Amino acid sequence: MDESNKRQRITSSNDNGEVRITDLPDGLVVGISNYLAKPSVVLFAIAMNSNSTSPPTQTSKAIVSSTNWKVLDFSDIEKGLAAKLSDDDIDNILRGIDAVNNLHILKLAGCVNITGSGLDVLRSSVAIEQIDMSLVGKHEVPLLEPEPLLSEDEVIHILDDIISRGRRSSLKQLELPKKWKNIASIYMTEFLERYDAYLTLKRYYCSKCNGIDFHLEEGGMAWVCSEEGDWYYGTQNFTCSGCLNFFCPRESCRDENGDAYSNWCKKCTKEYCKSCSAMTQCNGCDEYFCNGCSEMKECEGSRDCGNDLCENCYKKNTCSMRINHACSRYYGQGKCSSCLVNYGCDFDGCDKVICEDCFLSNDEMGGCQSCGKDFCSADCRYLSSRGGEDCSTCLRIAAAGFRRRLQECKERNEKLCRKMDAEEK
């Protein structure tokens, strides 16, 4: 039926004069779908079928065929919608786009309510190159509350079938959920060892020097860390999460500054090459951070050293004392250790940091020659000295501090009372 006949049917098939979307020409429906994100496109195509178990209609086929399905990234849709998807939905989506033959990259960002059974169709895929199961988008911290439902029992069998094809498989990179890395089960560790053996068998080449087996040449570093308790457990080395290129740690493959061409970001726990994501090294903890993950802050010391600090190190190197102390002009500014000596409070549970100026300016904040501890305030001095080993020096200093603060409170209250009396008159 040509479009002119179909348009005629629209006006005559419904006694109420209502136009249903199924009555629209396929070309118009496909045009509408072009404005949707990829996951929404295939959901739209599925919705155009009257029955999800029946073969796809000509309209559904036209919608799907109008899009390239090499990449399917669920971060392209709202998190609320992604969170509503079930394993049945994922299964229908993957089947609807013929994922076995078409899909190269799958990113399950936001799909926190799937167990993984919906990925079963990928068992026979020889096209899939990357499966990102971190469940978060790019430059997002992979910490989810409540914990996602993704199950090792459901997924590992599927992954094993994919890598069992050896060199016929195309899989290059896996991103695992944070909760699997934290648990580090024997089941997962054994799979990581099999996955490492698979990557070794593939003999992937470094994108810069075209070398192979580079992970064996640098102290036996594996493709995937499978040692329980290691910070990098479950992380795939040498592989950019963005472009999927491989980069070796050889000296000859470092940049002009001597830095590796790819680095692992401590915050999002993903590795990126410099072409995909710029990274900055913190001068406090020496860790690397994607510029999209952490806004690095420059040391604000007077030496103008230009050192960068990550959010955590900036906080640790910022004086905790309030205005009216020696560093009042610099309150709220973070200074690296090379610009200013900082002192941490020795009272267990206190994470305050004070600068050298404050440390030397007031007896409440400083070191005790009797007990050999450093304190940020009279409160911590008192609480520490009452912990079982009383220090008379700290008690005297604490008492003096409390008296001073009490006097300051009395003076403020008197001023407030005089102000209130004046307003009433």
Model pLDDT, residue 23: 64
Please report whether residue 39 resides in a domain: no
Model pLDDT, residue 419: 86
**Model confidence at 413: pLDDT above 60:** yes
Model pLDDT, residue 150: 97
**Model confidence at 128: pLDDT above 80:** yes
Do 403 and 314 have their domain in common?
A: yes
Most distant CA pair in the chain, distance: 99
Do 275 and 314 have their domain in common?
A: no
Please report whether residue 64 resides in a domain: no
Q: What percent of the chain has a predicted confidence (pLDDT) above 90?
A: 40
Please report whether residue 370 resides in a domain: yes
Interatomic CA distance for residues 211 and 205, integer angstroms? 5
Dihedrals φ, ψ of 367, to 5°? -95, 140
DSSP state of 204: P
Model pLDDT, residue 50: 65
Model pLDDT, residue 217: 53
Do 278 and 385 have their domain in common?
A: no
Interatomic CA distance for residues 414 and 419, integer angstroms? 9
**Model confidence at 94: pLDDT above 90:** yes
Do 275 and 245 have their domain in common?
A: yes
Model pLDDT, residue 99: 96
Please report whether residue 230 resides in a domain: yes
Cα atoms found within 13 Å of the Cα of residue 82, Cβ hemisphere only: 21
Do 265 and 330 have their domain in common?
A: no
- Of 292, 326, 348, the domain-final residue: 292
- What band does 120 get if pLDDT is binned at 50, 70 and 90? very high
Model pLDDT, residue 346: 84
Do 282 and 334 have their domain in common?
A: no
Do 226 and 259 have their domain in common?
A: yes
Do 302 and 420 have their domain in common?
A: yes
Answer with the residue of higher pLDDT: 424 or 203: 203
**Model confidence at 315: pLDDT above 80:** no
Do 321 and 396 have their domain in common?
A: yes
Tens digits of residue pLDDT in 276-292? 998 999 988 889 999 88
Interatomic CA distance for residues 212 and 155, integer angstroms? 29
Interatomic CA distance for residues 289 and 141, integer angstroms? 11
**Model confidence at 417: pLDDT above 60:** yes
**Model confidence at 86: pLDDT above 90:** yes
Interatomic CA distance for residues 168 and 128, integer angstroms? 11
Please report whether residue 85 resides in a domain: no
The mean pLDDT of 7-11, rounded to a whole number, is 43
Q: Look-up: residue for tokens 């005629």?
A: 8
Do 315 and 384 have their domain in common?
A: yes
Q: How buried is 79 (Cβ within 10 angstroms: 0-12 exposed, 13-18 middle, 19+ buried)?
A: middle
Please report whether residue 146 resides in a domain: no
Please report whether residue 178 resides in a domain: no
Model pLDDT, residue 29: 81
Interatomic CA distance for residues 47 and 64, integer angstroms? 12
Of 9-13, 54-58, 82-86, 282-286, the range with the highest mean pLDDT is 82-86
With b for 16 or more beta-carbon neighbours within 10 A and e for fewer, the 285-315 pattern comes to eebbbbebbbebbebbbeeeeebbbbbbbbe
Which range has the worst mean pLDDT, 112-116, 146-150, 335-339?
A: 335-339
C-alpha 303 chain-centroid distance: 34
Q: Look-up: residue for tokens 């008379």?
A: 392
For residue 181, give the amino acid letter: K
Domain count, the chain: 2
Do 309 and 382 have their domain in common?
A: yes
Please report whether residue 302 resides in a domain: yes
The mean pLDDT of 258-278, rounded to a whole number, is 88
DSSP line for 21-32: GGGS-HHHHHHH
Which range has the worst mean pLDDT, 11-25, 240-254, 397-411?
A: 11-25
- What band does 174 get if pLDDT is binned at 50, 70 and 90? very high
Q: Pairing relation of β-strands 130-132 and 71-73?
A: unpaired
Model pLDDT, residue 388: 54
Do 306 and 281 have their domain in common?
A: no
- Of 242, 263, 292, the domain-final residue: 292
Answer with the residue of higher pLDDT: 360 or 409: 409
Model pLDDT, residue 113: 97
Rounded mean pLDDT of the chain? 83
- Of 249, 277, 292, the domain-final residue: 292
C-alpha 205 chain-centroid distance: 28
- What band does 7 get if pLDDT is binned at 50, 70 and 90? very low
Model pLDDT, residue 2: 47
Q: Look-up: residue for tokens 């005089």?
A: 418
- What band does 204 get if pLDDT is binned at 50, 70 and 90? confident
Residue 386 belongs to domain spanning: 298-424
Q: Pairing relation of β-strands 105-107 and 71-73?
A: parallel
Answer with the residue of higher pLDDT: 152 or 398: 152
